[in-house]
Structure 1
Amino acid sequence: MLMVSFGQIADVLPEPVLLVSTDGSVVAANQRARKELGGAVEGQSLFALCSDDRAQVEELLKRCARVRQPTLGTLTLAGGRRYRVEGAVVRPSSDGAPAVVMLRLVHEQAALSAFVELNRTLDHLRREITAQRRASQALDQQREWLRVTLVSIGDAVIATDVEGRVVLMNPVAEQLTGWTSGEATGRPVAEVFRAVNEATREPIENPTVRVLREGVVMGLANHTVLVARGGGETPIDDSAAPIRDAGGEVIGAVLVFRGIAERRALERLAEQRLADLVVADRRKNEFLAMLAHELRNPMAAILTATTLLHAPDEDPEAAAYAAAVVERQVRNMARLVDDLLDVARISQGKITLRAEVVDVSLALRQAVETSRRLIEAGRHELHLDLAGGVLPVRGDATRLEQVFCNLLNNAAKYTPPGGHIWLSARGDRDEVIVSVRDTGVGIPPELLPNVFDVFVQGDQSLHRSRGGLGVGLALVKRLVELHGGSCSCASAGAGQGAEFVVRLPALRGEAAAAGAGEREPAPPGERLRVAVVDDNHDAANLLAVSLKRWGHDVAVAHDGLEALALVRATRPDVAVLDIGLPGIDGYELARRMRRDPALGGCTLIAVSGYGQDVDRQRARDAGFDHHLLKPVEPAALMKLFARVTSSGGAPR
């Protein structure tokens, strides 16, 4: 083994290193310590060199004197520089003489290691090695000092002779390579230190080979994996430098390396997240472009229809067609917004299901009626196979109808005119299986794994005409999963059609019969006194016209204070209130109405463009009985009005 003194090893270290007796006297210091402390410090008191409390320094020295493994602590020098300290005993106390400990000082703002500085000073180390031949007792002491120094270094160190055989290893090197120092000594370093390229898995040239051959310093290698004796692998950074004699001849090499598994894992995670962000940003941009496209189309149709309605020579047939266009396009826009809100609610865990026993066949037939207009517009032939005896499921009938409707709409949109769509339902043990199959454009294999992701579509070109925001299938998947089911997709490829399958847990026996008759149709409505409050004059007046045509007495107001006076004067049975009102908003208007005993029987219906759960809760807290999203479906209002007449007042 190569024998060296404290100065030979300590002077090559980039951090200040001190040998200090437990009485505080500095026994020795390396070059870095003398440089940072302003000159020779041997013989000085460590207590005088530090600005820390004396008792704190004494306690640190005592702790270091107890063990030969590194003990951690901190010191603040008189100049105010704060250091992290690693200390261990190098000579225990004996015959009344104080123990001597080695303190390695690492500045808190400094790098954890400085291998370049270590490599630059290795020549000095080599010159000192050959000059040291001392008595046996002195050699044993130097050997122990060297061992403690290497133990205190957090990096792995292997030294070789000129033939590349291992002559020295520290414990960190033993841990990383799987070799003990005794087993490795005398073996070729390439046998002990085996490394491969992380990407190619090809063996790399051992750094010490080139160091011994050319006498050069090898810098840090990239993407290197150390293969341990037992087969374990550790990503590392490594460097090597030659050891020279007094004449400059290379007589050995020193290899320094460290494990960087945690850093490499963080790098890979950062790379993956960056890639995910790039994909998410691309999808976001595509989504915004699609959203603009999808909103401009119905707006263009609505604008054209309103122009036709304002034509001086208005044709009743053309006017009816224009009105139908406006209604259809507004419904399309509302559906787009509802889909987006539903996906957001589910993603945030804010959607709840109205659990009931659901007849799947009935839900499928209702979905067919909802989607029929789109199917007929594409001149598709719909084939139904709704086997009798399909078991019911527990869930939200409205949401399940939404699932099936989205799948039918998807098939209709992506099937060329004159195609075929098959809708089937069957029972399989404890499941109900619903299938929607088409002869449409199909799905490329590379898109299949992501077809249920938000904002994913097969055709992203600007001339796309089938429409949609890429949220329908994502909504289907998440709603089905909320029902405890699953959904899948299969396609033979582009132009080969596609099949979507929904599996739902079925109910049997008493559980299936428990919900029979839960959904009853609302009774027909009667004449009511209605107050309509909205600062949008067109919206308020059009709603008033519709309600009057249904046979109700309607009064209109356009701000909160005007509305308060109106309802106190007319005492309506129902008040349809916009939330964003001038004067006082809809929430405050509702609170004031609830405090008036004369209005206690009035049913309050909130109408808002905000439909998150927090908005609905805020409406309930203000005293509203119901909360509807804009644009309001006339059928939804009729249903609520029917409940008012059947109960004889507000259903609170």
Structure 2
Amino acid sequence: MQRLVDHGEQFQIEKRCLRKDGSIVWLHNSASLLADAAGQPAAAIVVCTDISERQHAEAALRESTDWLRLIIKNAVEYAIFSTDLDRRVTSWNSGAERLLGYSESEALGQLADMIFTPEDRAANAPEQEARAALDGDGANDERLHQRKDGSRFWASGATMAMQDGRGATVGFVKILRDQSAQRASQQALEQSRTELLSALQENENARAALLSADEAKDRFLAVLSHELRNPLASISSASMAVSTGRLSPEDQDRAARIVQRQAQIMKVLLDDLLDVSRLRLGKLALQTRILPLSTVVESALETAQALVDNGGHVLEVRLPERPVLLDADPVRLAQVLSNLLSNAARYTPAGGRIVLHAELRPPRVVIVVEDNGIGMEPATVESMFEMFSQSSHATDRGSHGLGIGLALARNIVHLHHGEIHGESDGPGRGSRFTVELPLAAMDEAMQGAAPRPEAGMPQVLIVDDNADVTWSVARLLTGCGVATADTGSQALQLLEQQRFDAVVLDLGLPDMSGFEVARAIRAHPLGAELLLIAATGWGQENDRRMAREAGFDAHLVKPLDVDELKKLIFRRRPQ
């Protein structure tokens, strides 16, 4: 009041006052002078306003602000910081220090863009985030962020515009949390789910493959039964007719041809089954040599010609004018081409056209077998190379086969480092199968020239306890002098008495095994010059190995192919 009297200045003050009841009240006092007519101070006016509620509210606000500051400072699991409108850091909590690696003093005043990866900065991600925070209720994101040391981590963040008491935007506040562990767990969960689904799919595929294999097995057994019964029935009927003794010579010849033809069919079926076994065991070996393609084609034509003729087809063969030399197994490669030719004959209506042509495309030769037959859906062509697979028309056309020919052909071609594939433009539009094989080097071809046969008649000893076998083979070996023996000891006696060029030896003799006889022959002073040929019903690779170890030069499977036997004898005449 003295100030008011001395200086006449109005003043205001806020202070605590004590009520009559002893309680405290906050008052806002405003004091001013009242002057008289002469302008001299005459009185004072004091206005007191109770401001207790406002003081309490301000105290509560200060307390909550302090608490908020403490909470932000100690929220170490969250990076919480604020920036101005230029995105420069204005506050930086301990969680931001821990998570991002920058101390508060290092971060203050710096662009908050520093926590973004270079790729996101180049893509203007900080500007886009700030713009989204200004335009809406905030910007949420999940992305890789970068620490002070350059390491990266996955974090989820929220950026919000910060406003003052008047509602004006003064900056941004960002809250960031490390989600690396959660993301890794989520990715691991997704990976486990993917692997589980993959395992379930593999299991389903395996189950489907097992069912398919089971169906293929049943189908194969049914076809095998059918294909074996047909030739057996023909052989049985022909032999019964012969046994009556009432057949004319012409009918006897026809019966013999029936037995030979049907026996050959059964031999092909059994050979195919053995080849499948060798394939499954990985023991289908090749006996390669340098030979002309024309030799292979001729052998294939010999096998398939009967089917072609029976169907009344026109067969055209076109080979290059110059010799085409291959380093190949002649038997196996002829098996491939004869299979393609036989299929063409079976699946082409009577009077059709079949073409086998070859073209040189160094360093390979391309062999094509095509027909104008029933064809197939293009989508089913590749499945024809699967084991036991047959055309849907196989049963209707009464074809012989177990559905393994093309599968064997593909494996044989692959063993020759070649390729085979089929094509068809659709049902009724024929089929085309192409075989590509590498050519043989010329110097190898010269070294592989076949030896010239010697003049004179080779002497052959046939040893077998089956008289039917020795009788028939002896009469078919034209151009050879033939002697026979039905035991091993008898064979050894004959070898002491007579000079032979070749011995065809059954392995299952009554007195000693063919292996023992072979070893005894090789131990003889003249035994090294002999051509020893094993003749047996066993044709597995192990049987062939045992024959080689016993000293045999060749291993033939019964029934004997006499033409092949002749080739061996004339090719290997000792000097």
TM-score band (shorter)? 0.5 to 0.7
Asked whether the 8 Å contact 2:451–2:571 carries over to 1, the reply is no
Amino acid of the residue matched to residue 519 of structure 1? A
The percent identity for this pair of structures is 36
Q: Give the aligned partner of residue 304 of structure 2.
A: 371
Instruction: Choose which of 269, 272, 275 in structure 1 pairs with 2:202.
Output: 269
CA deviation after TM superposition for structure 1 residue 490, in Å:
0.8
In structure 1, distance between residues paired with 2:519 and 2:268: 31
Q: Does 1:280 align with 2:190?
A: no
CA deviation after TM superposition for structure 1 residue 263, in Å:
4.0
- 1:93-104 equivalences under 5 Å are none
Q: Does 1:433 align with 2:366?
A: yes
Amino acid of the residue matched to residue 532 of structure 1? V
CA deviation after TM superposition for structure 1 residue 380, in Å:
0.3
CA deviation after TM superposition for structure 1 residue 308, in Å:
3.1
- 1:328-343 equivalences under 5 Å are 328-343=261-276
Unpaired segments of 5 or more residues in structure 1?
1-139, 144-177, 185-191, 193-227, 237-257
Instruction: Choose which of 438, 455, 458 in structure 2 pairs with 1:505.
Output: 438
Asked whether the 8 Å contact 2:325–2:445 carries over to 1, the reply is no
In structure 1, distance between residues paired with 2:327 and 2:482: 41
Q: Deviations over 1:83-132 (max 9, x none)?
A: xxxxxxxxxxxxxxxxxxxxxxxxxxxxxxxxxxxxxxxxxxxxxxxxxx
Q: Does 1:530 align with 2:461?
A: yes
- Decide which moves more: 313-322 or 564-573: 564-573
Q: Does 1:574 align with 2:502?
A: yes
Asked whether the 8 Å contact 2:419–2:437 carries over to 1, the reply is yes
Q: Does 1:622 align with 2:565?
A: no
- Residue 604 of structure 1: SS of its match in structure 2? strand
- Residue 495 of structure 1: SS of its match in structure 2? coil
Instruction: Choose which of 445, 450, 455 in structure 2 pairs with 1:515.
Output: 445
Q: Deviations over 1:156-205 (max 9, x none)?
A: xxxxxxxxxxxxxxxxxxxxxx9979769xxxxxxx9xxxxxxxxxxxxx
In structure 1, distance between residues paired with 2:321 and 2:480: 42
Unpaired segments of 5 or more residues in structure 2?
1-73, 78-151, 159-176
Asked whether the 8 Å contact 2:486–2:509 carries over to 1, the reply is no
In structure 1, distance between residues paired with 2:546 and 2:464: 19
In structure 1, distance between residues paired with 2:527 and 2:363: 52
Asked whether the 8 Å contact 2:460–2:482 carries over to 1, the reply is yes
CA deviation after TM superposition for structure 1 residue 431, in Å:
3.0
Asked whether the 8 Å contact 1:609–1:629 carries over to 2, the reply is yes
CA deviation after TM superposition for structure 1 residue 619, in Å:
0.7
In structure 1, distance between residues paired with 2:368 and 2:205: 36
- 1:414-563 equivalences under 5 Å are 414-428=347-361, 430-459=363-392, 464-506=397-439, 511-512=441-442, 514-516=444-446, 518-520=449-451, 522-523=453-454, 526=457, 528=459, 530-534=461-465, 536-547=466-477, 552-558=481-487, 560=488
Q: Deviations over 1:213-269 (max 9, x none)?
A: xxxxxxxxxxxxxxx979996666xxxxxxxxxxxxxxxxxxxxx945444433322
TM-score by length of 1: 0.55
In structure 1, distance between residues paired with 2:341 and 2:566: 28
- Residue 451 of structure 1: SS of its match in structure 2? helix
Asked whether the 8 Å contact 2:422–2:434 carries over to 1, the reply is yes
Instruction: Choose which of 522, 531, 536 in structure 2 pairs with 1:603.
Output: 531
In structure 2, distance between residues paired with 1:518 and 1:598: 28
In structure 2, relative to structure 1, the CA distance for the partners of 1:273 and 1:467 (3 Å cut) is: same
CA deviation after TM superposition for structure 1 residue 636, in Å:
2.2
Amino acid of the residue matched to residue 539 of structure 1? V
Instruction: Choose which of 519, 522, 525 in structure 2 pairs with 1:594.
Output: 522
- Give the length in aligned residue pairs: 404
From the CA coordinates, give the structure whose radius of gyration is larger.
Answer: 2
Instruction: Choose which of 575, 584, 603 in structure 1 pairs with 2:512.
Output: 584
Asked whether the 8 Å contact 2:294–2:319 carries over to 1, the reply is yes
- 1:231-380 equivalences under 5 Å are 259-380=192-313
- Residue 369 of structure 2: SS of its match in structure 1? strand
In structure 2, relative to structure 1, the CA distance for the partners of 1:426 and 1:543 (3 Å cut) is: closer
In structure 2, distance between residues paired with 1:390 and 1:545: 36
Q: Give the aligned partner of residue 109 of structure 1.
A: none
In structure 2, relative to structure 1, the CA distance for the partners of 1:180 and 1:432 (3 Å cut) is: closer
Amino acid of the residue matched to residue 554 of structure 1? A
Instruction: Choose which of 567, 570, 574 in structure 2 pairs with 1:639.
Output: 567
In structure 1, distance between residues paired with 2:337 and 2:281: 23
TM-score by length of 2: 0.62
- Residue 647 of structure 1: SS of its match in structure 2? coil
CA deviation after TM superposition for structure 1 residue 438, in Å:
0.7
Q: Deviations over 1:276-296 (max 9, x none)?
A: 111111111111111121111
Asked whether the 8 Å contact 2:531–2:569 carries over to 1, the reply is no
In structure 2, distance between residues paired with 1:270 and 1:643: 55
In structure 2, relative to structure 1, the CA distance for the partners of 1:472 and 1:592 (3 Å cut) is: same
CA deviation after TM superposition for structure 1 residue 408, in Å:
0.9
Amino acid of the residue matched to residue 310 of structure 1? S
- Residue 519 of structure 2: SS of its match in structure 1? helix
Asked whether the 8 Å contact 1:605–1:627 carries over to 2, the reply is yes
Asked whether the 8 Å contact 2:530–2:574 carries over to 1, the reply is no
In structure 2, relative to structure 1, the CA distance for the partners of 1:639 and 1:259 (3 Å cut) is: closer
Q: Give the aligned partner of residue 114 of structure 1.
A: none
- 1:193-204 equivalences under 5 Å are none
CA deviation after TM superposition for structure 1 residue 273, in Å:
1.4
- Residue 577 of structure 1: SS of its match in structure 2? strand
CA deviation after TM superposition for structure 1 residue 553, in Å:
4.0
Asked whether the 8 Å contact 1:357–1:393 carries over to 2, the reply is yes
Instruction: Choose which of 328, 335, 343 in structure 2 pairs with 1:410.
Output: 343
In structure 1, distance between residues paired with 2:452 and 2:345: 30
Amino acid of the residue matched to residue 343 of structure 2? N
Q: Deviations over 1:289-321 (max 9, x none)?
A: 111211111122222222233342331222222
Q: Deviations over 1:493-545 (max 9, x none)?
A: 222211111122345xxx336414712454466152514123x4433443345
In structure 2, relative to structure 1, the CA distance for the partners of 1:577 and 1:392 (3 Å cut) is: closer
- Residue 301 of structure 1: SS of its match in structure 2? helix
CA deviation after TM superposition for structure 1 residue 452, in Å:
1.1
- Decide which moves more: 318-327 or 404-413: 318-327
CA deviation after TM superposition for structure 1 residue 577, in Å:
2.0
Q: Deviations over 1:384-428 (max 9, x none)?
A: 333434754433344333222221111011111111112221123
- Residue 385 of structure 2: SS of its match in structure 1? coil
Asked whether the 8 Å contact 1:356–1:518 carries over to 2, the reply is no
- Residue 382 of structure 1: SS of its match in structure 2? strand
CA deviation after TM superposition for structure 1 residue 579, in Å:
1.8
Q: Give the aligned partner of residue 383 of structure 1.
A: 316
In structure 2, relative to structure 1, the CA distance for the partners of 1:594 and 1:512 (3 Å cut) is: closer
